[in-house]
Amino acid sequence: MPLGPDPELARAAVARLDDLRATVTAAEDDVLACLVVTGEPRPQRVLDDWLDQVADTLRALGEQAADLSSALNRHAAPPEALTGDGDRPDAVAGDVPLDVEVRS
């Protein structure tokens, strides 16, 4: 049984988060394209503020998706990233594989 997250599920989640980021970026552009001039100062201010809040929310959602995607990427290593001798791709110099006996 593997220790840690399933790499296949992590890759699927990263792909969906990347799709989400693309969608919210496009939606933010669409919202900002909706800025119209009403000709009335008060309604214009209300409309501008509302559209800014929507764009800010979409931007924050995209940033959170990017952060989660970055965090999951380290668990989404493709299976071929492992070498034939079982070394981990993220192994650090001095790490000892679990199947090696350490003698003092």
Chain segment 40-89, per-residue pLDDT in tens: 999 999 999 999 999 999 999 999 999 999 999 888 876 555 444 444 44
Residue bearing the bigger pLDDT, 17 or 77: 17
Q: What is the distance, to the nearest Å, from the Cα of residue 63 to the centroid of all Cα atoms in its chain?
A: 8
Other CB atoms within a 10 A radius of the CB of residue 84 amount to 5
Q: pTM higher than 0.75 for the full model?
A: no
Handedness of CA 36, 42, 45, 48 (dihedral sign): negative
SS3 at position 69 = helix
